[in-house]
Amino acid sequence: MKRLVPLFALLFAALVQASPNDDYRRGIALYKEGDFSGAATAWESALSAGAEDWRLHFNLGNARFRLDEPARAVLAYERALRLAPKESRVRENLEFVRLRLKDRFPETGQGLTARLLETLYHLLPLSGLTVLVLTLVLLLNALWAVHQLTDDPARRAPLTLASSLVLAALLLAGPLLAVRLYREQAVVRGVVMAPAVTARSAPQADATDLFVVHEGTTVRLWEAVEGWQRVTLPNGLTGFVPLESIERI
């Protein structure tokens, strides 16, 4: 807990400068007074009014954690992370809360290669990565055209080298963009909000019980069928849970 307190203050100061909205300031003042419930209400009011800032979700997560509402804290941190995927402070607080959840899943992909790929994945925002890939494609086409129009072998050599370097960069950036688009557009996730919910083999109450999942667990969402939501846990287990027990990130 001691490690989180300084982060709260830093983001309060930044948030005041980020927006003149009264709900921001009111939430900060209430939080400093120890009124975490009032602070959460104020920040949620700002969100309902259309404000969208990762720091707002982050501070909301802090308030929910103080209120001993781990599921709501995880949801707020996940939403902050969606807007600011490179923010280490958000990840640290999210992991801090997850250590206190009932459901634990082993960490995977922590090798050097996986960490390097994850760093590259978050190096640029989606828009920046898209521009980079398009620029590399145009540059590669331009180099190829100049190469084809050049008869002098001495001049073709540097063009060939430059084309190879651009192609290598494209072969790295292109798949990253594809994965990024898939994960951000096609993969939908949610957080279990109920204290405990039983996942079933089919979207019906009398179906076979498969497993129990607890509040705060982040799951992947699939189709919704007549009040039931098919979900997949981080460990790969899949089942149907009541739709109202899940909140979409």
82 part of a folded domain: yes
User: What would the pLDDT profile of 20-52 be if each residue is shown by its tens digit?
Assistant: 468 888 999 999 999 999 999 999 999 998 888
196 and 139 part of one domain: no
Q: Are residues 181 and 151 in the same domain?
A: yes
Tokens encoding 147:
């190469």
Q: Is 21 found in the same domain as 82?
A: yes
Over pLDDT 70: what percentage of the chain?
84
136 with 207, same domain: the answer is no
Are residues 97 and 74 in contact, defined by beta-carbon separation less than 8 angstroms? yes
> Residue 82 carries which DSSP code?
H
User: Which CATH number characterizes residue 213's domain?
Assistant: 2.30.30.40
Closest CA to 46 of 237, 58, 78, 172: 58
Question: Is 173 found in the same domain as 124?
Answer: yes
Same domain, 128 and 203: no
| Final residue before a domain boundary, out of 185, 215, 237 | 185
For residue 107, tell me if it sits in a domain.
no
What pTM, to 2 d.p., does this model score? 0.71
Same domain, 175 and 231: no
Best CA proximity match to 16, nearest among 32, 6, 27: 27
In a domain? residue 155: yes
> In which order are the strands placed within the sheet that holds 196-200?
209-214, 196-200, 238-242, 228-232, 218-225, 188-192, 246-248
Which of residues 54, 72, 98 is at a domain's end?
Answer: 98
Residue 104 lies in a domain: no
Average model confidence (pLDDT) across the chain: 86
Number of structural domains (the chain) is 3
Last residue of a domain, one of 98, 121, 149: 98
- Region 101-109: mean pLDDT is 74
Is residue 106 one of the residues assigned to a domain? no
Q: Are residues 227 and 148 in the same domain?
A: no
The pLDDT assigned to 16 comes to 45
Residue 171 lies in a domain: yes
Give 175-221 pLDDT, tens digit per residue.
888 887 877 777 899 999 999 999 999 999 999 999 999 999 999 99
Q: β-strands 238-242, 246-248: how paired?
A: unpaired
79/246 Cα distance (integer angstroms): 14
Q: Look up the CATH number of the domain holding residue 29.
A: 1.25.40.10
Same domain, 85 and 57: yes
**Residue 103 belongs to some domain of the structure:** no
Q: Alpha-carbon distance 68 to 149, whole Å?
A: 69
Residues 85 and 121 in one domain: no
Give the structural domain span for 157.
Answer: 112-185
Comparing 27-41, 67-81, 98-112, 150-164, which segment has the lowest mean pLDDT?
98-112
**105 part of a folded domain:** no
